[in-house]
């Protein structure tokens, strides 16, 4: 039987916390990661009522040793069948035009948003192949918008979208599925950091995506692989657009 174990990066708040709660409710054992221990521990504690094992692994997704620790924790729980690459960074706050974007910040945001999800997927592959695994990469409408000042972050999400589709094509014979998910605007720390000082109370909380996760986890993984889904679209079959 395939292991029912998931790694969720950036699970200490926002969307990652919501996905963690959803998967705990589906009976998944969880490995939760983030850089700051205390909020991550709080999330793990709040999930105790689900009676599933929850391990926290504190660290930065750009650190290879941290990534290995997360995968080791999943294997200790029995394997790995779901990898959610959710941790992400804007690069700079407030956002800046690409023409003025500091190049060290651009390199760093590529490491967090593109290189780390690919590296985690590479390192997790033996376990994912053994368990008919699913990789979920969190994208954004900024990947396609060309919105002024969203270029640094948007570039990384466009690259991640192409990584998702390429990996989906490369790994289908090995029984590993890969999807890209644009969660839509949500009232989170990252969203506030993108609009410092603005009132973002009109944006929905990340729980708005729960119906989408329920749909996704009800699908045949091979059938959804290679898709790019907008979690707030409500009609996911129709909007499954290959990148």
Ligand X SMILES: NC(=O)c1ccc[n+]([C@@H]2O[C@H](COP(=O)([O-])OP(=O)(O)OC[C@H]3O[C@@H](n4cnc5c(N)ncnc54)[C@H](OP(=O)(O)O)[C@@H]3O)[C@@H](O)[C@H]2O)c1
Q: Which residues are catalytic?
A: 153
Cα–Cα distance measured from residue 78 to residue 16, given in angstroms and rounded to the nearest whole number: 22
Among 185, 210, 215, 222, binds ligand X (CB under 6 A): 185
Residue 81 or residue 88: which is nearer to ligand X going by CB?
88
Shortest CB 86 distance to ligand X, Å: 5
**Closer Cβ to ligand X, 189 or 239, answer by number:** 189
Q: Is it true that the peptide bond before 204 is cis, omega within 30 degrees of 0?
A: no
Adjacency order of strands within the sheet including 134-138: 54-58, 29-34, 5-9, 82-85, 134-138, 177-182, 228-230
Q: Which is nearer to ligand X, 45 or 189 (CB)?
A: 189
Nearest to 123 by CA among 209, 186, 174, 64: 64
Report in angstroms how near the CB of residue 173 gets to ligand X at its nearest: 28
Q: Can you tell me whether residue 83 is helix, strand or coil?
A: strand
Residue 190 in contact with ligand X, rule: CB under 6 A: yes
Q: Looking at 186, 208, 216, 230, which residue binds ligand X (CB under 6 A)?
A: 186
Stretch that binds ligand X, among 11-19, 74-82, 99-107, 217-225 (CB under 6 A): 11-19
Least Å from the CB of residue 43 to ligand X:
8
User: Does the footprint of ligand X cover residue 161 (CB under 6 A)?
Assistant: no
Binding pattern for the stretch 49-88 against ligand X, x by CB under 6 A and - elsewhere: -----------xxx-----------------------xxx
For residue 177, the cross-strand partners are 134
Q: Which is nearer to ligand X, 113 or 225 (CB)?
A: 113
Question: In angstroms, what is the minimal distance from the CB of 200 to ligand X?
Answer: 9
Q: How far is the CB of 130 from ligand X (least distance, A)?
A: 25
By CB under 6 A, tell whether 140 contacts ligand X: yes
184 contacts: CB under 8 Å, gap ≥ 6:
141, 204, 208, 209, 230, 231, 232, 233
Segment interacting with ligand X (CB under 6 A) among 29-37, 70-78, 172-180, 229-237? 29-37
Beta strands in the chain (DSSP E): 5-9, 29-34, 54-58, 82-85, 134-138, 177-182, 228-230
> For 27-49, what is the HEC assignment?
CCEEEEEECCHHHHHHHHHHCHH
CB-based contacts of 25, cutoff 8 Å, min separation 6: 50
Q: Which stretches of the chain bind ligand X, using CB under 6 A?
A: 9-16, 33-36, 60-62, 86-89, 112, 138, 140, 183, 185-186, 188-191, 206
């Amino acid at each position: 039987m395939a292991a029912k174990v998931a790694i969720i990066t950036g699970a200490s708040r926002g969307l990652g916390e919501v996905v963690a709660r959803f998967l705990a409710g589906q009976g998944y054992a969880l490995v939760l990661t983030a850089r700051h221990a205390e909020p991550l521990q709080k999330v793990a504690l709040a999930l105790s009522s689900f009676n599933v094992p929850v391990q926290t692994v504190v660290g930065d997704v750009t650190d290879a040793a941290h990534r290995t620790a997360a995968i080791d924790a999943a294997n200790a729980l029995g394997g790995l069948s779901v990898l959610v690459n959710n941790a992400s960074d804007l690069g700079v706050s407030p956002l800046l035009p690409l023409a003025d974007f500091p190049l060290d910040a651009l390199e760093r945001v590529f490491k967090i948003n593109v290189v780390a999800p690919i590296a985690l997927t590479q390192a997790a592959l033996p376990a994912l192949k053994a368990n008919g695994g699913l990789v979920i990469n969190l994208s954004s409408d900024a990947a396609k918008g060309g919105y002024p000042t969203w270029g640094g972050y948007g570039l990384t999400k466009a690259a991640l979208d192409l990584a998702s589709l390429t990996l989906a094509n490369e790994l289908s014979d090995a029984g590993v599925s890969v999807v890209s998910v644009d969660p839509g605007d949500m009232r989170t720390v990252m969203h506030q950091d993108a609009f410092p000082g603005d009132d973002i109370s009109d944006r929905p909380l990340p729980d708005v995506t729960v119906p989408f996760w329920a749909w996704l986890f009800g699908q045949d993984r091979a059938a959804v692989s290679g898709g790019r889904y907008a979690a707030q679209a409500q009609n996911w079959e129709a909007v499954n657009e290959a990148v």
